[in-house]
Structure 1
């Protein structure tokens, strides 16, 4: 299996249609394959020459829903690489072999897709090309920067803490796929909310450390 994956040049309005069926059809076929495990490389190969938005959605949307433990560890790593390359304006997507070889059991992947596909189908009915100044190659770089920071937050071991950033990345991805600036705007609002939640959480953690560590420091005269 190749450790390289290619995509079309970055452009919200100029992204290609998905061959071999719609977005949900590709996911469904992966879940119904006869392989014991579904790897990241197999997912990338199934989508072929797709837009960055399609790949971001594949790896982000499952993390926005209640999923089996370990899902974010498998699907989160590709998000970091994809978002970073989107941020720097790469026209060709590359993922290292240690990511493409990561996999999950086919049964777990099928469970994942059964939860994700209905959401994708509902969302696609709401999307349409509009406000495309938010889907230009330059705008994609800012979107990539936001997705990169959100993907880093997604890795933090916080119960349900991966859901807000994953939802924001999913909104960005849908906006890129459908050239829908309204979805991109929703992504920015969700990203701001995710950053706000993290800032509040760190404030609570630091306050807790100060509360419990203060007496110990005074005890030792520090």
Structure 2
């Protein structure tokens, strides 16, 4: 999983790239002005198409925010995360999304709402994360992290009516993705704990049905 030097190195800087009110997101940098909204592809282009950790953060943070209550958002987010993580798992060096996912768009109001909601938690994580237990997030262990993300994301389309579950589960994906970006094994362990709890809830629901 190769990261471009221009990829964000903190959650705050990643949110800045998506914030319609941030001067750096305007049309002068060659990208479509965020005040017109952004497609998923435009968001990924802003964070770096080779940075899989940052790329996974984009849809997972959207699902952590209140936007997760939008109908079909958990399903679309899950498909995007599955597509990204599958490519990371198999060692692709450049991210590709199918057109029906890449062209999905958030408008200015939705972007502002998501970014504002996430600013506080992002700043806290940025202050408290650093290079620790690096081996857990480095090859080949990073494949285990991506596999865990895939196992959880594949359940979201079937749990569309439980948006709060998706938000919590996406929070675990965001922690894993962030840990891959900053190489913090402690954050990765926290992400594993949330993903493990999410899977246990899924197994409990399946057991109750059958």
TM-score greater than 0.5 by the shorter chain: yes
- Structure 2's unaligned 5+ residue stretches are 26-32
Q: Compute the displacement of 1:110 (Å).
A: 1.5
Kept after mapping to 2: 8 A contact 1:61/1:170:
yes
1:39–1:182 Cα change, 3 Å: same
Q: Which has the higher helix share?
A: 2
Q: For 2:97 and 2:167, locate their aligned partners in 1 and report how far apart those are by CA, in whole Å.
A: 24
In the TM superposition, 1:99-110 aligns within 5 A as: 99-110=101-112
Matching of residues 9-158 of structure 1 within 5 Å: 10=1, 16=5, 18=7, 22-29=13-20, 33=33, 35-67=35-67, 68-70=69-71, 71-156=73-158, 157-158=160-161
Are the counterparts in 2 of residues 64 and 167 from structure 1 also a CA contact under 8 Å?
A: yes
Structure 1 vs Structure 2 CA RMSD: 2.4
**Rounded Cα–Cα distance in structure 1 between residues aligned with 2:132 and 2:91:** 22
Distance 1:34 1:170, change over 3 A: closer
Asked if structure 2 preserves the Cα contact closer than 8 Å seen for 1:16 and 1:50, the reply is no
Tell whether the 8 Å contact from 2:7 to 2:51 is kept in structure 1 after alignment: no
Gaps of 5+ in 1: 1-9, 207-222
State the Cα distance separating 1:30 from its structure 2 match. Answer: 7.6
Larger Cα Rg: Structure 1 or Structure 2? 1
**How many residues of Structure 1 are paired with residues of Structure 2 in the alignment?**
195
Provide Cα deviations, 1:161-210, integer angstroms capped at 9, x if missing partner: 2123211111101111111011111111111111101011112222xxxx
User: Distance between the aligned counterparts of 1:197 and 1:179, measured in 2?
Assistant: 28
TM-score of the superposition, structure 1-length normalised?
A: 0.78
